[in-house]
Structure formats: structure tokens, C-alpha cells
Structure 1
């Protein structure tokens, strides 16, 4: 016998199903208890807002597609880290507050320490002003650990919490574009060949990751460098000599990545109670095929010349663009990068495992 429902009954069922879905999401347990974010402007969500620096974006058109407007994110909307936070099951995009605004219990899900223009090397980015280098981010994390211990009033429980969190580290681009390739401000290009510099950076990064390990971190998502020679600002700044991109900058990124991958293997072998994974932030050629890659969505000229001009009118369809400004990517591209890092099965994108798998280990 076929059951026929009246229109009002159908509406009621639809409402109940919608409410059930909302309640299910509200009660969902994140895949990890907390998520700590270290890095540069690709991950910064407001730490630079009150610093005396050219590397801050708390103005329109930044955040034009973000619910809270301009927050200090170097994009028109969400960063890749925002998407990963959501994919991990945290319900609020603000779940990981910037360290600059971390207060009370809002640190229990994690904290974002990332800072625009920051690098692995302490001096990196000083040409743009104040920033929070990776060493200082690690120091700030120790402050957060002390605050967590006070909140939890149980050192063992705090240690257990930290062991189960994911630590995201995406840093290194500025060590080239705001250090090595700025000879007027830094002497690194006179002291190191490109190969030597990559080796020095990886050695310092190794020491920094081990310091995080010693403070309780056990799950690491570490990103390589993207194609820093293919950003619109880099191309206009250096020229390409007939190539599609600035080959020397991409060579630098490749040398860094070729040393980072073995470091991840070495850390996994030596620190057997920890899990490290390498993530590729560039996306695939198939993804790139549907995007505008050779220009930015906004009119650049702000900051050090690569940021959007304040209150300028951006392009009408940012979802078609890889680059929002001269060096930073759009929300649409950030989502592709985040989803790849989270669930890609390709060893070219995530090795030895993706973030989804890392969360279960």
C-alpha cells in the first residue's frame, strides 16, 4: 500500500530532517582535540594586524568574501587552514584564534601563530617591518602550553592533549622572496649558493620541529614550498626571460622541497612515537587548467608592492583566479589545496599520508 503524505506533512518532515542534520553537526566531535598553526601569510588570520609592518591586510578588499570581513587573512575569503579546520570537524572557522587574540578558554581547540612575512630565519621579513618569526612562534606556543596547564590543572592531561593535536607548519617562502632574493636588504645570497642556502634552511627547520616535538607535539603536517616563481608579483618584479615563470625562484623552491622530503622520512625514523607528513601546496595541473593563473584578482601596489591597494575594486569573479593579490591565493584555490592535503591518496600531494589519516594515528 502506497503511503501518501499531505503537503504540510512533507514540509514538517523536511524541517525535522534539517534540524536533525544541524544537531548532528553541532554535536560532532572533531577528529583531533586541537590544531596548532605555524607559518607565514598563507596561514595568518590576524596576528599582524596590530604590528608596525607593511605585511598586514586588515582592510578591504581583503575578506570581501569572508563572513567577518577583513580579519587579517591574506585572501578574499578563507585560507587553506580555515578549510582544513572545517574538514577536521571543528564547527567554527574562528576555532583557532590568532595568538594575538587568544584569551581564556578559546585556546583549548588550538591557536594560530602564523605571521605575514615570517620565515624560518629570524631576520627574514624585516624589510617589511615587524613580524613573528618561526622561533618566536614556538616560544609563544610554550606560553600557550603554560596557559593550558593552568586551565586543565593536570599536567598529565595536558601532555596527553598535546600528543593528540595536529601541528601544521607552512613556512619558508619568505626566506627566499623576503630574504635571499632581496640582496639590497640581506647578505644571504652572497654567503650561500642556492643549494647551500636550502641545506641551511632545512637544518634550521629540523631543529625547530624537534623543539616542538620536545614540547609535546607528535603529529606534524609540514608543507613544502609552492611555485614562488610563478606569482604575478614575482613575474613583474624579476621578469622571466621568455619562460612562463621566474625559473631561478622555482629552482630555489625545488631545492628546498628536495631536502624537506628526506627530512620528513628521517624524523619519522628517528622519532618513532611521532608522525610527520609532507604536503604539496601547489595543486595539480588538472586543477590549474580551469583557473586564471597569470594575473591577480585585485589591483596590487599595497604593502611592499604585492598586496591589494586599500579599498580598490577587485575582479568580479575571484573563483576563477588562483591569485587574489600579487602573491597570495584566492579562497577558491585555497579550498583545492586544503582538500588535497586532507584526503589526497597521491604520494605527490601527501607523503607518507594525508591529514585525514594523520588524525587517526
Structure 2
């Protein structure tokens, strides 16, 4: 004669199953909650780094345009004859239009940035905006010849310095260490480029006055050498190889040869009459050298933004795995427990 479970035994199946599910449910909740918290913190960090890297990327083209306008302003203010002045006025107007286009792109890229950027970065962005507005007062003075070359140079210097300092502040505020290091690497290149453009400006001013301030030129040149050492310390092997590949060719050779004449051959008083270059050839060579540095800077900036985006996508996939696996296991346990309870009830 077969035996069947008593009614109390059958009724005990579901409460027992429910009790047994408490522990795996709690464990799953803890694991999922911890994964979601970690993912949220990491995502916020990567989002902050992405925002900062985007701001830096947007600033690069603007810096180069301002540097070119500064050189054009110095040439226009130093122009002698009417035809020469007319030529430099055209170049200055075109350089200003390039700055305005770069500033528009810069503003468009920054429009989507969140308001919770670090306070020093927000302050720097405000300073840059003020410097761009100040150009409206600088440009008419340059066009009329009513502004001293040093005053014009100082106005452009302040704007360029603010844009370059933005790079270092963004690198410091970035919460992703690999990205922060690469941002500092790109900043070292950006500062090298600015020292090169300072050399460009010193000599263009010297062409207008007849003599070059060699002390100022040497200071910019030596600072550029120190920044090159900083880049070598910070840069990865791949970025060093990229630099060596891009910063080469006739523009670099012309720039280096002209600089060597100033450093080694030019009379102590800065007389340019024996120089192996004209104002035009000097300007073209230094601008060309600067574009090579800009190419390296732009590639690194672009790589940083892409790397942060990839890291964010990887973090999302990892979060889905870390939360999905425990939940999946819990669902299997629940299904198994339900089947067990039903078989017990039928029995």
C-alpha cells in the first residue's frame, strides 16, 4: 500500500522554498548593487574625462588660428610702404576670419558640456571667452596702426596662454590616469608650438624695427627645448614615433636652419641685414613647422577622446556582465526551486 505525504508536509514545500531563496536573493542584490555603484562611479569619471578632452580638442585649432593672427598683426603694424601694408592688411583680415571660424567651432563643441565642470576649468573657459571678445577692440587698433606692436602681442599672448593653460587644468582634473598623462603629453607639444610661434613673432617684430631682441628669442628657444624634454618623459613610445614621423621635412629644415643663424651667426645687436631669410620666408618656415607640431597635437587629442569613448563602452559591457550573471543564476535557482516545490506538491 503506497504512502503519500501528509497535508502539512505538502504545505511546507512553498515556505521552505521561499526561505531557501532568501540567501541567494540577498547575495545577488549585494553583488548587483555593488556592480551598479562601481559602474556609476567609473562612468561619471569617464564622462568627466570625455568632457574635458572634448574641450581641449576644440581649443587646438583656435590656438593655431590666434597664433597666425598675432603674426599677421605684427607684420601689418610693421609694414612700411603702402603696397606692403595693403598686402599685410589682406592677410590680417583673412587670419581674423580664420580665428572667428575656429572660435565658432570651439563654442559649438563646448555648448554640450555639463555645468558641473571643475570650478577652475569653468573660470578658465570664461577667461578665454573674454579674450575672444577683446579681439573686437584689438583688431581695429591693428588695422588703423593705432596700437603699439607690443600691446597687440600682449593681447594675443594672453588669449593663447589661457587656451594652453586649459589643457593642463583639464589634464589635472581628468579622473582617468592614462588619459590624464596623454593630455599632459599633448600639452607639452602645444606649449612647444607656442614657444616656436613666439620665436616667429620676435623675428617678425625685428624685421619691422631693424633688430631682433636676441635675449627674448633665446629665452623662447630654450624654453622650447625644455618642453621637448618634458614631452620625451611623458610620451609613450608610439607617440614619440608619431612625433618623429610627422615633425620632419622641408618646413622643419628651413625653420631649424634659420634659427641656427640667429643663435650662432647673427650679430649680438640683432642686426638682420645678413640674414639668410626674408620676412616672408621666415614667416612661412616657422608657420610650417608649427603646423607639423599641430598635426601631432591634434592626433593625440583625437586619440584621447576615442580612447575614453571606448573605455566607456567597455565599462558598460562589463557592468552588464557583472549584473547579468548573478541575476541569471538567481533566476535559474528560482526556476529550479519552483519545479522542486511543484514536484513535492504533486507527490
TM-score, with normalisation over the residues of structure 2?
Answer: 0.32
From the two aligned structures, give the one with the greater strand fraction: 1
Higher relative helix content: 2
Greater RCO, 1 or 2 (C-alpha within 8 Å, sep 6+) = 2
- Max Rg structure: 2
- TM-score normalized by structure 1? 0.31
